[in-house]
Amino acid sequence: LTGCQGCKLCKSRSTIVFGVGNPRAKLMVVGEGPGEEEDKQGIPFVGRAGQLLTKMLAARGVNFDRERDCYTANVVKCRPEKNRNPEPDEVAACNPFLMAQIETLDPLVILTLGNFASQTLLATKEGITKLRGRAYPYRSGVIVPTFHPAFLLRNPGESYKRMAWDDLKLARQEYDRLSGR
């Protein structure tokens, strides 16, 4: 076994999935943890949810190019078996890596995907349906919570899609406002 052994996820993972994207980006996307495909490739959001994420960022009125504008990471860097939720000791063990990524990137906007990432970074137990729809001051920027693309894939239909699009447009507005554009 090589690499981090900071928590029990090191026993089941194939690859550490640290982060991907432009290290100078000012938009950071934070998901929950690597899925099966991510665990194989070592890259966050490369599976079906990742493809939807790329499309959501590129949507009309949002216009983020994922590769150019964005850095993507997860709350935990190693895949929990069968995609179960990460446990508190795993989140705690991985937290210094996420915090180092945030400090290094110093993003204007952090888009948190789903309950898990939103609750972790906003330090709340409130659900995503209540949290989404607004921007929360965080460090020198904001956190914009929205639905996880995997949730959108499981719950097709215009209403969730519309809310996600509204959140992404809010992320764009905040990004433009904070970058003085």
- Residue 18 or 178 with smaller CB distance to ligand URA: 18
Considering only residues 29 to 48 of the shown chain, the ones binding ligand URA according to CB under 6 A are 31-35, 38, 44-45, 47
CB of 133 to ligand URA, least distance (A): 20
The token duo for 175 is 């990004």
138: enclosing H helix or E strand: strand 136-138
Cβ closer to ligand URA: 50 or 145? 50
- Residue 180 exposure: Cα atoms within 13 Å on the Cβ side: 0
Q: Which of 49, 24, 16 is nearest to 117 (CA)?
A: 49
Total number of residues that touch ligand URA (CB under 6 A): 13
The verdict on 150 binding ligand URA (CB under 6 A) reads yes
Q: Which positions from 61 to 100 touch ligand URA by CB under 6 A, shown as an x/- string?
A: -------------x--------------------------
Residue nearest to ligand URA (CB): 31
The Cα–Cα gap between 25 and 136 comes to 19
Which residues 6+ apart lie within 8 Å of 78 measured at CB? Answer: 4, 7, 9, 10, 12, 13, 16, 17, 33, 34, 39, 94
Say whether residue 111 binds ligand URA (CB under 6 A): no
Residue 145 interacting with ligand URA (CB under 6 A): no
**Closest approach of Cβ 92 to ligand URA, in Å?**
18
Choosing from 20, 29, 49, 131, the residue that interacts with ligand URA (CB under 6 A) is: 49
Asked if 10 contacts 4 with a C-beta cutoff of 8 angstroms, the reply is yes
HEC string for 9-28: HHHCCCCCCCEEECCCCCEE
Point out which residues bind ligand URA (CB under 6 A): 31-35, 38, 44-45, 47, 49-50, 74, 150
